[in-house]
Amino acid sequence: MKTAIYPGSFDPPTLGHLDILERAARLFDHVVVGIGVNSSKSSFLPHDARIEALKACAVRWPNVEVESFEGLLVDYARRREAQAIVRGLRAVSDFDYEFQISIANRRLAPEIDTVLLMTKWEYSYISSSIVREIAKLGGDFEQFVAPEVAAIVRAHLSLTT
């Protein structure tokens, strides 16, 4: 049984994230989306809303599970008995950071491999931060996210504005 962790903040989850998740779900028997709890970073969507959004999207893949995690990623991956950590690459600019983190993670946990999946080119410009900005400023953010996510973002915006 090959298990992979797909970690991230997913604030909010975008079509780019879902594309990586779909491909990871084809490559691995079991994929656990780990939404990092970061108390020092203020988020746009509350943690629970991000979990709800990803769970709503993940129903389409029977081998995908969504949960939160705290602490060091490699400790979490070990707890979940994962062989791999999946991350997405959009452009060369993502590579430096992902490469650095993956080397550090390998030093900490040599038995866990990082698998970097390249995004589809049509999603290569989408980032959670762009979606957040467009949503906050009243623009059409819905084209960058799944309908389930759009509904949760809309509900959040109506509560906060």
- Residue among 39, 40, 41, 107 flagged as catalytic: 41
- Give the integer Cα–Cα distance in Å for 135 and 140: 7
90 catalytic residue (yes or no) = yes
Burial-class residue 153 by CB neighbours within 10 Å (0-12, 13-18, 19+). buried
Catalytic (active site) residue 93: no
30 is an interface residue for ligand ADP by CB under 6 A: no
CB of 128 to ligand ADP, least distance (A): 5
Q: At what angle do helices 47-58 and 147-160 cross, to 10 degrees?
A: 160
CA-closest candidate to residue 8, choices 63, 89, 83, 62: 89
* Strand ranges, E, within 76-134: 84-89, 113-118
Q: Is 120 a catalytic residue?
A: no
Stretch that binds ligand ADP, among 54-62, 74-82, 102-110, 118-126 (CB under 6 A): 118-126
17, 30, 50, 87: which is the annotated catalytic residue? Answer: 17
Q: Indicate which single residue of 57, 82, 112, 126 sits in contact with ligand ADP (rule: CB under 6 A).
A: 126
**Residue 105 touching ligand ADP (CB under 6 A):** no
Q: Which residue is nearest to ligand ADP (CB)?
A: 16
Cis peptide leading into residue 12 (ω within 30°): yes
13-37 in b/e burial notation, b at 16+ Cβ within 10 A?
bbbbbbbbbbbbbeebebbbbbbbe
Q: Which of 8, 34, 73, 105 binds ligand ADP (CB under 6 A)?
A: 8
Using rule CB under 6 A, residue 9 touches ligand ADP = yes
Q: Which two tokens stand for residue 90?
A: 């959009």
Which residues are near ligand ADP by CB under 6 A? 8-10, 14, 16-17, 20, 87-88, 90, 94, 119, 123, 126-128
Q: Looking at the annotation, which residues are catalytic?
A: 17, 41, 90, 128
